[in-house]
């Protein structure tokens, strides 16, 4: 079958999208981890033997790696892209990081698209909100909808605009998780956790704070290392804007420590 898209990275996002969309052999994937290439085969996605094989003639590429690998992936694989391929960088990194990636992709003849994923891919799957920015954003919107994504919106033609929205929003979202972790650690140590949570319930009646605290802590212990890498990029975003990322740097620390504490308790 003709390759419709290539997936660079096949972690939670790549495997979730492939399973939900049922791409099968219309998609080719590449991941540096052999175990993930085995999962591709289970889902019917063509597991390429190399990045070059995955990208050879793919008109649409989704980069779904970790934040720290986003720029190296763009730089290393740019020369392997088909001419005019849409390179959708879906990774959570700072606007400056995406602009550097765009420079590499466009110099090699590809079309770079800044994509911000605004919610966890589970349970949203193909309805996860995607913001697009870049000169080829409109073409990418059509291609992504054709691939099965249903919640796609163009926010501008300047690379970095979508990621700016994502990174600045993350200061609040991930920051609240980290603040919850710090609050609960202190409240538990003081033996007043129930009273603290009850007092928060009294001032906010949306979701009970016991439920919210449990949810935030679970997200951190499960995804803290990945989220810490993302928050490093949020800190870069604030620095570029002239805003000292005091709380954001604290969030990086708390997110990074949470999985380590879980490992010690296991």
Q: What is the pLDDT of residue 208?
A: 87
How far is it, in rounded angstroms, from Cα 8 to Cα 70?
10
Q: In 126-160, which ranges are continuous DSSP H helix? A: 137-146
Tell me how far apart the alpha carbons of residues 11 and 57 are, in angstroms, rounded to a whole number: 23
* SS3 state at 68: helix
CATH code where residue 144 lies: 3.40.50.720
CA 220 – CA 38 distance, rounded (Å):
27
Among the three residues 93, 123, 157, which one is the final residue of a domain in this structure?
157
Same domain membership, residue 219 and residue 115: no
**Residues 180 and 146 grouped into a single domain:** no
Residues 89 and 122 in one domain: yes
9 is written with which tokens? 């990275």
Q: Hey, which bits of the chain come out as E strands? A: 5-8, 27-30, 46-47, 60-63, 86-89, 111-117, 130-133, 152-156
Per the structure block, which two tokens stand in for 93? 């990194």
Q: In this structure, are 146 and 24 located in the same domain?
A: yes
State the Cα–Cα distance between residues 213 and 196, nearest whole angstrom: 11
What are the two backbone dihedrals, phi and then psi, of residue 177, each rounded to the nearest 5 degrees? -60, -45
Same domain, 207 and 233: yes
Give yes or no: residues 133 and 51 share one domain: yes
In this structure, the answer to whether residues 186 and 255 fall within a common structural domain is yes
What is the pLDDT at residue 1?
47
**Distance from C-alpha of 208 to C-alpha of 49, rounded to nearest angstrom:** 49
Last residue of a domain, one of 157, 188, 219: 157
Among 103, 123, 157, identify where a domain stops: 157
Over its length of 266 residues, how does the chain's per-residue pLDDT go in tens digits? 467 999 999 999 999 999 999 999 999 999 999 999 999 999 999 999 999 999 999 999 999 999 999 999 999 999 999 999 999 999 999 999 999 999 999 999 999 999 999 999 999 999 999 999 999 999 999 999 999 999 999 999 999 999 999 999 999 899 999 989 889 888 989 999 999 999 998 887 778 889 988 988 999 999 999 999 999 998 998 899 898 899 899 999 999 998 887 666 65
Tokens standing for residue 210: 């016991």
pLDDT of residue 2: 62
Sign of CA dihedral 87, 90, 95, 97: negative
pTM (2 d.p.) = 0.83
Torsion of CA 206, 16, 85, 164, to 10 degrees: 20
144 and 244 in a single domain? The answer is: no
- Whether 31 and 145 map to the same domain: the answer is yes
Residues 145 and 228 in one domain: no
106 and 14 housed in the same domain? yes
The domain that holds 239 is classified in CATH as: 1.10.1040.10
Q: Based on the fold, state whether residues 38 and 121 are members of the same structural domain.
A: yes
Read off the tokens for 179.
């603040």
- Torsions phi, psi for 61 (to 5 deg): -125, 130
What's the pLDDT at 80? 97
The reported pLDDT for the residue numbered 263 is 66
- How many domains does the structure of the chain reveal? 2
Residue 208: domain span:
163-265
């Amino acid at each position: 079958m003709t390759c419709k898209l290539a997936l660079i990275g096949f972690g939670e996002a790549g495997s979730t999208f492939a399973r939900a969309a049922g791409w099968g052999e219309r998609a080719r994937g590449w991941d540096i981890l052999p175990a993930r290439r085995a999962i591709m085969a289970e889902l019917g996605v063509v597991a390429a033997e190399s990045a070059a094989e995955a990208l050879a003639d793919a008109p649409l590429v989704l980069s779904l790696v970790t934040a720290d690998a986003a720029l190296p992936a763009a730089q290393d694989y740019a020369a392997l892209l088909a001419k005019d391929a849409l390179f959708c960088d879906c990774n959570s990194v700072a606007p400056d990081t995406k602009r550097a990636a765009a420079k590499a992709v466009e110099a090699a003849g590809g079309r770079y698209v800044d994509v911000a994923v605004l919610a966890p891919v589970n349970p949203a799957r193909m309805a996860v909100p995607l913001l697009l920015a870049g000169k080829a954003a409109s073409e990418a919107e059509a291609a992504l909808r054709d691939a099965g994504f249903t919640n796609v919106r163009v926010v501008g033609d300047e690379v970095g605009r979508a990621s700016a929205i994502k990174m600045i929003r993350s200061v609040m979202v991930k920051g609240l998780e980290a603040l919850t972790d710090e609050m609960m650690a202190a409240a538990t140590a003081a033996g007043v956790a129930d009273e603290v949570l009850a007092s928060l319930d009294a001032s906010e009646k949306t979701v009970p704070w016991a439920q919210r605290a449990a949810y935030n802590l679970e997200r951190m212990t499960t995804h803290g290392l990945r989220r810490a890498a993302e928050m490093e990029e949020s800190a870069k975003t604030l620095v570029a804007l002239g805003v000292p990322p005091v709380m954001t740097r604290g969030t990086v620390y708390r997110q990074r420590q949470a999985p380590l504490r879980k490992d010690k308790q296991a």
